[in-house]
Amino acid sequence: MARARNIKPGFYTNEDLVECSFAARLLFPGLWMLADREGRLEDRPKKIKMAIFPADSIDVDSLLIELESRGFVKRYTADNKKVISIPQFLEHQNPHGREQDSVLPDENGLYKVNTRNKDMVTGDYVLDKSLIDSKSDAKQEQAQGQHDASTVQA
Positions of E strands within the chain = 40-42, 74-78, 81-85, 111-117, 120-127
Question: What local confidence, expressed as pLDDT, does residue 151 receive?
Answer: 46
Question: What local confidence, expressed as pLDDT, does residue 150 receive?
Answer: 46
- Average pLDDT rounded to a whole number, residues 117-125: 57
- Average pLDDT rounded to a whole number, residues 100-110: 89
Please, are residues 73 and 67 in contact by the beta-carbon 8 Å criterion? yes
pLDDT, tens digit, 9 for 90 and up, residues 57-77: 999 999 999 999 999 999 999
